[in-house]
Each structure stands twice: as C-alpha cells, then as structure tokens.
Structure 1
Amino acid sequence: MTHLLVIAGTDSSGGAGLSRDIATAQAFGVSVCPVVTAVTAQTHGALHRIQPMPPDLIRAQIVAALDSVDITAIKIGMLGNGESVKAVADSLAPTGLPIVLDPVLRATSGGSLLTQAGMRVLLRDLMSLVRVVTPNLDELTQLSGLPAAGIPTQVRALHQQGCPGVLVKGGHDTGPESIDQLFEHDGNTLLRAPRLAVQKRGTGCTLATAIACGLGRGHSLSTACRSAKTHVQTWLAC
C-alpha cells in the first residue's frame, strides 16, 4: 500500500485539517501517517482556540512515522508558527521525498493559522524542499509579497524561493469555470472545470492531499494535479 505522511492540524468540526486529509487519502486507497502540528477548537463558522504542539514533539512524530513505514510522499497543511515550520523543515530536509505544501494561512471561518514569523521561516527554510505549493489567489499574494503584481510575477517570486511547482487555485475567482494554473519552470498548464454553486470547507486540504497521493504513486506533477482536481469536483458535487 502507498503510505502518505500528512503534517497538519486537527479541526474539531471535521471539516478540514487532518480528518479531511485522511478521508481524501482513503478515497485513493492510500494510508496516512499523521503528524499533528496544532490542535484547534473550531466550528464551521468560527475559530475559537489554537494549541500548537511543541517543536520537539513535531520532530519526534515525523521521525517515528518515517521509521515505521515506507513513506512515498508528504503533504503539509497547517503549521501555525515559526518554531513548527523550522521543526518540519529540519526533519524533512534529508528525505528527498516529493512534498505538497498547502499554505494554510487563515481558517475559512476566520482567524490566522500562520504567524508572520512562521511565514518568513516557511519562505526561507521550507519552500525550497517542496515539489509543489498550492496557494489560492489571496495566499499567492501574501506569499509573494507582491500585491500589485500579476499572477506570473507572483509565481516567479515563489520559483525564486526554490519551489519548482506552483498550482494557483482559481476557486476564489469568478466566471463560469474554475481554472487552476500549474506553473513549472518549463511552462504552465490550465486545469479547467465547471464552477459549481457549492461551498464546502476543506477543499484546499482535499486538493493538496489528492496531489500527494498521485505523486506518491509515481505520477507526474501535471497528472497528479489533474486527477486531484477531478476528485475535488466529484466531491463537491456529492
């Protein structure tokens, strides 16, 4: 069986976070080794409390997971603060495994899920380890630090941080189609789907985990992204 290492926070509502990651991986027939970065108390409408895990406990979880099974890909979600980002980056640097980073900056219900210090450490220490990062339009602006620039310029800023793949999600855009744009150093690919009049929490978790499942099975990045988008569309339509 394919084994995925998922590093993320919990969500007591079950709408996002590790519970959504595990459900997505199960849909692909993939097993998950979970690493908890933070425990959150939230509903579908509000974020009430965040308790970050100690950095040494995050490191210990990652080491134990890597020692337990043959991990073939890694998905990273909520990290919370700079100490957690540093612990994750240091632990994953030697692995050389494909990593999918879902840059969880804010909860859908409101509230920050990554500090400014965490953002700086993410860009400095983690981005260069990642195979693909999956920002929405707002996250792309924040990560690039270029609010007045267009998408290609913002994406280049992330390439310059060492990340070879950037999947810009179009779910928060407008129009009859939801168009995701996959940027790699050798070009970009448009992933199109009808825009559905449906809102669900956890779409970012679902997409990133589905991509990691594909990469863990040896698929190319474009194939993994295309399959993941199809999966999200099917899930939203249910």
Structure 2
Amino acid sequence: MDTPTALTIAGSDSGGGAGIQADLKTFSALSVFGASAVTAVTAQNTRAVTLVKVLSPETVMAQIEAVRADIAVHAIKIGMLGSAANAHAIAQALKDFPGPIVLDPVMVAKSGDALVADNAVAALREALIPLARVLTPNLPEAARLLDRSVAETQEEMATQGRALRALGAEAVLMKGGHGAGPVCVDVLVTASGATAFSSARIKTRNTHGTGCSLSSAIAANLACGATLEAAVAAAHAWLQRAIARADELTIGSGHGPVHHFHAVWS
C-alpha cells in the first residue's frame, strides 16, 4: 500500500512560515509524505515581502509532471499561483487527476503585501475553481472572487460560499479568521448545506501561515482517506492547537508562524 502522499503547488516563503514550507511542515506533522511544485519564489520574513519572482508555467508543469510520473499522489493542495499563465498550466497538468484538490486562493500575505495580480484572480476563478474538491478562501479572498463586500455574519458567509460553489467548486470552506468577535467560525458549504466549525479566537500575533496550514491539513487528511467533513473538522482542531502553541516559538519580530509541530516538540 502506498504511503499517504500529498502534493503542494504553491509559492516559497523564505521565512518558512507560510507557502510551500508551511504546507510540507503540515503534511509531515499529520503523517503524510509531502511533494512540491514551486510556482514562485518570494523574499519575505515575518514583517514583509520584499521580492516576488514568478516561475514560468513550463517550469511549474514540469515539476507537477515529474512528481506524478513516479509518485502516487493522493491529494493536492494549490496555493499561490504567481500568474494567470501558471493557473492555466496547473489546470492543464491536473485535468486528469482523480483525487481531491484543495484550492486555497492565496492573494495577500499576512504582512498585507499583494501576492497575485487581477488577471491571475480571473484565471483562478475560470480554470481552477471547477477542479476543486474544496475551495478555502478567507473572507477578503471570497469577497474579491465574487466582487462583493466582505461577509460579516455567518449567514453572509454561507451565502457567499453558495455563490462560490456556483462557480464550479464541489464545496467551499469560508475561513473566518479575519472575522471579529471572541469566536472564530469557519463555514463549510456543500451540496447538502452549511456546517459551522467554531473555536475560541486566540489572542496572538503569531498567525503567519494559518490559511496555508489549514488548507494543507485538509489535503493531508483527505490523502489519508477521510471524508471532507471529517478532514475539515480534524484540520480545524489541529490548527487551533497550532495557534494556541504558537507563542512557544520566538521567530522574527512581526507575524510569527503557528507551531506546526506542537505535538512533537516545544
């Protein structure tokens, strides 16, 4: 039996807290082997993104094809695209992939720096959303994809989730980390309705990579054979613990990372 394996297609974060680095840490923390295809190289730390170098679609496709030609991939997570051309190349490379795809529409870094151009957002919407087993936008990302105001209530989150499903995604997880109030609520919208996952909002500045880590945790759980609802529930609980333990790390002077390996070392 093949070892559970997930492939992340995303940008590199030189600071190690988000992007490919966070995805691979998450896969490993959840007992899944991680493979990767890099879409862009960023120069960043906990405070800022100072450079973004987008790789060519040919380079991205070659990485995906090399992995899939030799390694049995059970789930795929897609993050930062870098360009519209990369979005279309990834869609072409994955058109025959039979497993679950978790699409995280990464648009802005925790520092506030933009990571994707408007034409890439359109390409993501048109080429990749229809391939997604689950789309995992945060509230500002969902609003940008739909050209609407940011959802402020659980009902509005569910409404926007249904609108995003109408674009072709099988399911949508509206991530509530950017919301307000003492409780953080994620809303999973599927064909059968909306399910809320709630947890206490933790007061910490060390939240760099939370979106990447949640989506890759879902992919890891799906790679192990979990149902979507179970994969989301387990990922939500795991990330809550990773955030709760984040202050045990002292990394940088800005938004530090969550503690991916909180169950292993402190």
TM-score normalized by the length of structure 1: 0.97
Q: Output the amino acid matched with 1:78.
A: M
CA RMSD between the two structures: 1.2
**Aligned: 1:194 with 2:204:** no
Question: Which of the residues 195, 200, 215 maps onto 2:222?
Answer: 215
Moved more, 145-154 or 225-234: 145-154
In 2, the alpha carbon distance for the partners of 1:83 and 1:117 equals 9
Aligned equivalent of 1:180: 186
Give aligned-pair identity as a percent.
40
In 1, the alpha carbon distance for the partners of 2:38 and 2:194 equals 33
Structure 2, unpaired ranges of 5+ = 246-266
Runs of 4+ in 1 over 3 A off after TM superposition: none
3-state SS of the aligned residue for 2:125?
helix
Question: Which of the residues 203, 206, 211 maps onto 1:204?
Answer: 211
In 2, the alpha carbon distance for the partners of 1:113 and 1:234 equals 27
Structure 2 counterparts to residues 159-178 of structure 1, below 5 A: 159-178=165-184
Structure 2 counterparts to residues 31-180 of structure 1, below 5 A: 31-147=33-149, 150-180=156-186
TM-superposed deviation, 1:110? 2.1
Does the 8 A contact of 2:140 with 2:150 survive in 1? Answer: no
TM-superposed deviation, 1:151? 2.8
Q: Output the amino acid matched with 2:164.
A: L
Does the 8 A contact of 2:76 with 2:101 survive in 1? Answer: yes
Structure 1, unpaired ranges of 5+ = none
TM-score normalized by the length of structure 2: 0.87
Q: Deviations over 1:92-148 (max 9, x none)?
A: 111122000111001111221111111111111110000011111111100112227
3-state SS of the aligned residue for 1:75?
strand
3-state SS of the aligned residue for 2:74?
strand
TM-superposed deviation, 1:157? 2.3
Does the 8 A contact of 1:144 with 1:155 survive in 2? Answer: no
In 1, the alpha carbon distance for the partners of 2:150 and 2:99 equals 34
In 1, the alpha carbon distance for the partners of 2:200 and 2:57 equals 42
